[in-house]
Amino acid sequence: MTLIDTSAWIEFFRKSGSRETKTRVATMIELGEAAYCGPVEFELLTGARASERKAVESALAFSNSLDFPRACWRLAADIEYSVRRKGVTVPRDDIFVAAAAKHHDVPLYTTDPHFSLIIQKGNVSILLV
């Protein structure tokens, strides 16, 4: 199972999105390997146009939902604390997604460079694919 970040989902849904990203996400969905977490679902549904919501909801329905329990919130706080102490600020949504990947011990598929910073500066061991 692979947690798909919002950035990759957006490429998947975008008409002019990266062919490689579209293929990888579609393959993960077909194989039952695609996963999302609450923060990703939130970003997708709040950012989607009315005409796109049905497609987003359908793709998520064919994907695995990873819970975001209290332990994820604590882990997210620890990650943000670590990166900030090193002078780095990244969007909180990315912190939440990194925490979910770490908590569930699953690889993360993303096109967002913030996750490399989170791994390097926050000493977070998650696999980016």
Structure tokens at 10: 């957006």
How many residues are given for the chain? Answer: 129
Amino acid at 32: G
As to burial, measured by CB atoms within 10 angstroms (0-12 exposed, 13-18 middle, 19+ buried), residue 109 is: buried
For residue 22, how far is the Cα from the chain centroid?
15
- Any domain includes 127: no
For residue 111, how far is the Cα from the chain centroid?
10
Q: Nearest 5°: phi and psi at 95?
A: -60, -45
Structure tokens at 33: 């390997």
What does the pLDDT look like over 17-29, one tens digit per residue?
999 999 999 999 9
Residue-range definition of the domain harbouring residue 11: 2-122
In whole angstroms, what is the distance from residue 112 CA to residue 95 CA? Answer: 12
Count of domains for the chain:
1
Find tokens 């791994």 and name the residue: 119
Name which of 59, 32, 33 is nearest 45 in CA terms. 59
- Any domain includes 35: yes
The CATH number given to whatever domain includes residue 68 is 3.40.50.1010
Q: What is the mean pLDDT of residues 10-21?
A: 96
Q: Nearest 5°: phi and psi at 86?
A: -100, 10
What does the pLDDT look like over 86-102, one tens digit per residue?
999 999 999 999 999 99
- Any domain includes 129: no
pTM over 0.75: yes
What does the pLDDT look like over 28-62, one tens digit per residue?
999 999 999 999 999 999 999 999 999 999 999 99
